[in-house]
Amino acid sequence: MRRSKGLLTAGPVWEAQKGEFGYERRIHYIFFDSGWSVAMAARYRRYIEERGGLVTLAQKREKNPNVDLLLGAADVWYVDRDPVGMAAALKATGLDRVLWSAEESPRMVAVINGLGFLSGRYDIYQDEMDPAQYSRLPWISKDWPASAWPADLVRDRSGDWVRGWEVDAKDGKRIPCGVLSDSRALPLAENRIAEDLASHAYGARFIDTTTASAWREDWDPEHPLTRGESREWRMRLLELVSKGNNLITGSETGHDAAVPFVHYFEGMMSLGPFRIPDAGRDMQRILPSAPDSILRFQLGWKYRIPLWELVYHDCVVAYWYWGDYSNKIPSVWPLSDLFNALYGTPPVYMFDAAFWKANRAPSSRTASK
């Protein structure tokens, strides 16, 4: 999309496949003279259904009854001590449906399940830090498969390894991770998830970045991939989680290629270009006021059109992005709740014990005019 002389214009861009045209390309133009966004969404839904990509939550429930625990469940990221006490407190307030997303001990997972909540945890299969950099870092993630460096990294056309997420070092600088090749993620996930489930009775698993980052070409001769093959490997990863391990499966932001394999997306309610600054990094900081982009677009009813929900509302549960959670900006928290009510989607909360104590009563917060 380009803006020229005050006009916004759109047109197709064909990207090469490994430097060549690659495969047959087609584009369909469909014109409407009435119905506006609802008609467009209905037509697109029919297109997806004809291609076999429309799998409803009702169909997914036939294979995993825990879908019923997800529907209407608040996505809770509790970041403090005594998770058992907090889970019990949430239950006591009448919050019967919760997706507990924070990784916990086997005992805590059992408590969560016993409350009738859906227990889950975070996981990722994209980033790998150079072990030689570990001494420069304040912490080492257990999600970095040290054995993957450097043989399993994505390589660009020049042969250099592709840079990914940057990690804050002790000296204030940032060190980039390498990006794990999508074809190398599946065997890693098979082992990690099986080992985890042997001691933790999780009912759900969130796979970060898989549906958020672009499909990647890999020029490494040992594991070459086109973008199409990158997408296929990622879908196999999500299928391993949801069907292979029968877990309620979520991923970041969202993509319709993954609809047959996932049950929820964290981020599909948030508009990527208009999220809170550093929403993926500075997550726990509470903001005293809302940036203009949030008021105008993210929570702006004059601009938002629920295209995703019009097509996929009965297929995938959509949440806000975890850095745009409902209580991130208390002054607009009620407005966030209203959008959840309008779209028929659940809220996301990230909080510690002090925030809970100060804000657990609805009267403790009011919407800004």
Does residue 39 lie within any of the structural domains?
Answer: no
- The domain total for the chain is 1
DSSP code for 242: I
368 pLDDT above the threshold of 90: no
CATH number of the domain that 106 lies in?
A: 3.20.20
Bridge partners of 318?
265
Half-sphere exposure of 311 toward its Cβ, with a 13 Å CA cutoff?
20
12 upstream amide cis, omega within 30 of 0 = no
- The residue assigned the tokens 């594991």 is 223
User: Which range marks the domain in which residue 292 is found?
Assistant: 56-364
In a domain, 195, yes or no: yes
pTM (2 d.p.): 0.95
Asked, for residue 128, whether it belongs to a domain, the answer is yes
pLDDT at 214 over 90: yes
Distance CA 369, CA 138 (A): 43
Rounded to the nearest 5°, which phi and psi values hold at 271? -90, 115
In a domain, 151, yes or no: yes
Quote the percentage of the chain above a pLDDT of 70: 98
**For residue 49, is it within any domain?**
no
pLDDT digits (tens, 9 = 90+) for 15-63: 999 999 999 999 989 999 999 999 999 999 999 999 999 999 999 999 9
- The Cα–Cα gap between 271 and 267 comes to 8
The tens digit of pLDDT for each residue in 274-310 reads 999 888 888 899 999 999 999 999 999 998 999 999 9
Instruction: Please name the residues in contact with 127: beta carbons below 8 A apart, sequence gap of 6 or more.
Output: 141, 143, 144, 164, 165, 177, 178, 179, 180, 209
